[in-house]
Structure 1
Amino acid sequence: MTEATQRPKARDLNQVIRYTMWSVFKTTEQCPSNREGMADEVDELLEQAAGKDVVTRGCYDVAGFRADADYMFWWHAPTAEDLQDVYSRFRRTTLGRLSTPVWSAMALHRPAEFNKSHVPAFLAEEEPRGFVCVYPFVRSLEWYLLDDGERRRMLAEHGMMAREYPDVRSNTVACFALNDFEWMLAFEADELHRIVDLMRHLRGAEARRHTRIEVPFYTGVRKPVGELIAALA
């Protein structure tokens, strides 16, 4: 049996309620010399959370991509409360107390409007990639008033353009009413330049005329907790 046939089917995944959250932090104090102890504390927390089906998709080094952040966690879980719990528990760790929240956004999977086979990579249990680019977006006011056929056509074009980058895995999830945005999108790839090229290529999609907001961007390198903490100032 191949890896593809072992994965859940899209029709089954579309029945799943699964929340996800990206939380970005910046250290505000210098980390102590005992960084191994700090890493062990965070690893233990994440292991305990995994026992409750709160999955850490990755811990990412975002330092240098922006001046306002150092690292980011990506979690997913059955409920919003589960995500709130791991977030609060992390903030009580030594690393959490030495850091301040910069940005956080929660979302959840809802079946795609026109292409039901399109499910987030994390929900399909694909392996995480080495890099991630996360950002929110909001459609134009006119978008949801357009004829279904017109929206379907533009989204189909957008999807066809993305097919040139099969190694860049997408995660599009809804966040209406959960924050200031409508959608969250995370692109994962093992080569960062592939995300850059895809994003530039998709600027030519007609659907982009109906994008009002798509900032902030948080891009980072996936690292083990210990390696990430060792690199902090």
Structure 2
Amino acid sequence: MAAAEQSAKRQYVNFIFFKVDPAWRRLPHDERQAGKQEFTRAIEEFTGKIIVVPYSTVGIRGDCDFLLWRITYDLELFQEQMSKALATGLGKYLTIPYSYLSMTKRSVYVDNHVHEGQESRRLKITPGRSKYIFIYPFEKTREWYLLTKAARQGMMDEHIEIGHKYPSVKLNTTYSFGLDDQEFVVAFETDQPQDFLDLVMHLREAEGSRYTKRDIPIFTCIMKSLKEALDTLGG
């Protein structure tokens, strides 16, 4: 690892998904509104310390209703923010079916592929520039890590070249080794979902895909303001 990367600050990244208890929708209207406002204040209290980008999954997935994509330099802040949010009127009716923790890290495979704003060369993520995001946890097989560096580089070169054919899709790869159950969390931002679909189909044909161990569940999410995301909950 280069000394520059060792000394540079990396970001912690969290994709946290929420599901609202149907009982919340049966509460009086004023109580629901107050709970949403209280939840919003708890999240926004950390503005400047945690980047939060909200997304809705209502009507798209049955097991979660909204996502908060959170980024910070202080891991403990994730816990502090969520502790306050879950204590609110809305938070008491929320469960967290999925939560993925990761960090930024410079990829070892991108040295031969240099272009402006390149993903995986960055230790700092600038999120929320597209309407849609597609997220999934990712793991490679053990056999992948037993290959030579040259063999892995060759397959990753093919992978990267395929990605270049879909410039409307921005990939954010973050790393979870030792932090969470998966090895990576990948988040694709785009305004053109059809381009992401075509990209994924194209990647299935790449040689490196034979070394994929896990790439589900996949979450399709629509970016909203926090108020808009909470308003999609039906209350």
| TM-score scaled by length of structure 2 | 0.85
Change (3 A) 1:74 1:144: same
Asked whether the equivalents of residues 109 and 173 of structure 1 are also in contact (C-alpha less than 8 Å), the reply is yes
Equivalent position of 1:101 in the other structure: 96
State whether structure 2 residue 225 is matched by structure 1 residue 230: no
Asked whether the equivalents of residues 13 and 124 of structure 1 are also in contact (C-alpha less than 8 Å), the reply is no
Equivalent position of 1:118 in the other structure: 119
Show the 5 A alignment for 1:204-219: 204-219=205-220
State whether structure 2 residue 10 is matched by structure 1 residue 30: no
Identity of aligned residues (%): 27
Asked whether the equivalents of residues 138 and 184 of structure 2 are also in contact (C-alpha less than 8 Å), the reply is yes
| Residue 111 (structure 1) shift | 1.3
Q: Which runs of 5+ in 1 are unaligned?
A: 1-10
SS at match of 1:23: strand
CA RMSD of aligned residues (A): 2.3
Asked whether the equivalents of residues 133 and 217 of structure 1 are also in contact (C-alpha less than 8 Å), the reply is yes
Quote the Cα distance in structure 1 between the aligned partners of 2:194 and 2:87: 36
Equivalent position of 2:82 in the other structure: 87
| Residue 23 (structure 1) shift | 0.6
SS at match of 2:109: coil
Equivalent position of 1:176 in the other structure: 177
Quote the Cα distance in structure 2 between the aligned partners of 1:156 and 1:94: 50
Quote the Cα distance in structure 1 between the aligned partners of 2:180 and 2:71: 17
Change (3 A) 1:85 1:42: same
Asked whether the equivalents of residues 58 and 232 of structure 2 are also in contact (C-alpha less than 8 Å), the reply is no
Asked whether the equivalents of residues 109 and 120 of structure 1 are also in contact (C-alpha less than 8 Å), the reply is no
Equivalent position of 2:50 in the other structure: 54
| Residue 81 (structure 1) shift | 1.4
Change (3 A) 1:106 1:153: same
Asked whether the equivalents of residues 110 and 121 of structure 2 are also in contact (C-alpha less than 8 Å), the reply is no
| Residue 64 (structure 1) shift | 2.7
Asked whether the equivalents of residues 19 and 80 of structure 1 are also in contact (C-alpha less than 8 Å), the reply is yes
Equivalent position of 1:158 in the other structure: 159
| Residue 91 (structure 1) shift | 1.3
Deviations along 1:154-201, whole A, 9 cap, x unmatched? 101100001111111111011011121111100011122222222122
Asked whether the equivalents of residues 119 and 171 of structure 2 are also in contact (C-alpha less than 8 Å), the reply is no
State whether structure 2 residue 136 is matched by structure 1 residue 135: yes
| Greater CA drift, 185-194 or 17-26 | 185-194
| Greater CA drift, 168-177 or 83-92 | 83-92
Quote the Cα distance in structure 2 between the aligned partners of 1:230 and 1:15: 39
Q: Which runs of 5+ in 2 are unaligned?
A: 112-117
| TM-score scaled by length of structure 1 | 0.86
Deviations along 1:83-133, whole A, 9 cap, x unmatched? 222222221222211111111010001110121553378924255211111
Quote the Cα distance in structure 2 between the aligned partners of 1:227 and 1:214: 29
SS at match of 1:143: helix
Asked whether the equivalents of residues 56 and 224 of structure 2 are also in contact (C-alpha less than 8 Å), the reply is yes
Q: Give 2:144's aligned amino acid.
A: W
| Residue 143 (structure 1) shift | 0.7
SS at match of 2:134: strand
